């Protein structure tokens, strides 16, 4: 695997994982970067750097960011945006991969990009759920602000230091998986205890 592919995959991971925090912020960043030829895209993804695309992603970004500051709507959005985040992650990863085989490109985009976005979205949703449960939603705007900052900062950083950003997101993904595994074990243990006490 040469340096070009490693850099492209790292860039894709950085942008895709950012979509797990906000769907349209990394799409907007990628669109602007493509418009100014900061990131190379294949001909089939040239539309990503067009003015209509930038305007559309810009409007969608503003709507999405503001919607996450509305109580209860933010939790609803977590459910709705999960498949959107996977789609955005897949698109972002596929758009930057220097692979000639279109089928393999989309498969890699879905598995790596969609997977990265889904993982980050799961962690984000868990954070908001915990915030809603323990603070009655009062801390949700803080969580939303943090997600906005991470989505924008990581997307922009991925353009400059893609490998570093990718490694950070991989570490975060490992932490999320380990945390979710521990939560499942705890839940099963409580269910067993409840079953035994019922006997």
Report pLDDT digits (tens) over 131-187. 777 787 788 888 899 999 999 999 999 999 999 999 999 998 898 888 878 878 877
Say if residues 23 and 118 touch (Cβ distance below 8 Å). Answer: no
The distance between the two most distant Cα atoms of the chain, rounded to a whole number of Å, is 68
Q: What is the pTM of this model?
A: 0.85
Q: Please identify which residue in the block is written with the tokens 């939790």.
A: 75
What are the tens digits of pLDDT across the range 177-198? 888 788 788 778 777 777 666 5
Name the residue ranges covered by the structural domains of the chain: 3-198
Query: What's the pLDDT band for 20 if we cut at 50, 70, 90?
Result: very high
pLDDT at 13: 95
Length of the chain: 199
Residue 123 CA from chain centroid, whole number: 10
The pairs formed by 57-64 with CB atoms below 8 angstroms and a separation of 24 or more are: 57/24, 57/27, 57/28, 57/31, 58/28, 60/23, 60/24, 60/27, 60/28, 61/22, 61/24, 61/25, 61/27, 61/28, 64/22, 64/23, 64/24, 64/25
Phi, psi of 117 (to 5 degrees): -65, -45
Crossing angle of the two packed helices 73-96 and 24-35, in degrees rounded to 10: 30
More confident residue, 76 or 114: 114
Query: What's the pLDDT band for 99 if we cut at 50, 70, 90?
Result: confident
Residue 146 CA from chain centroid, whole number: 14
pLDDT at 162: 93
């Amino acid at each position: 695997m040469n340096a070009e592919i490693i850099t492209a995959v790292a860039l894709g991971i950085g942008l895709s994982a950012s979509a797990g925090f906000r769907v349209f912020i990394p799409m907007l960043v990628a669109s602007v970067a493509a418009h100014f030829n900061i990131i190379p895209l294949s001909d089939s993804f040239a539309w990503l750097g067009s003015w209509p695309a930038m305007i559309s992603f810009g409007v969608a970004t503003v709507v999405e960011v503001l919607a996450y500051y509305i109580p209860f709507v933010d939790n609803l959005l977590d459910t709705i945006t999960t498949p959107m985040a996977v789609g955005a992650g897949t698109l972002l990863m596929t758009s930057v991969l220097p692979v000639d085989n279109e089928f393999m490109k989309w498969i890699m985009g879905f598995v790596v990009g969609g997977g990265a976005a889904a993982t980050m979205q799961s962690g984000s949703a868990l954070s908001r759920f915990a915030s809603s449960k323990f603070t009655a939603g009062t801390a949700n705007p803080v969580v939303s602000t943090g997600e906005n900052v991470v989505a924008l900062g990581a997307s922009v950083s991925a353009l400059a230091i893609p490998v570093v950003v990718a490694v950070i997101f991989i570490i975060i993904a490992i932490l999320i998986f380990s945390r979710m595994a521990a939560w499942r074990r705890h839940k099963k243990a409580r269910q067993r205890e409840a079953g035994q006490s019922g006997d």
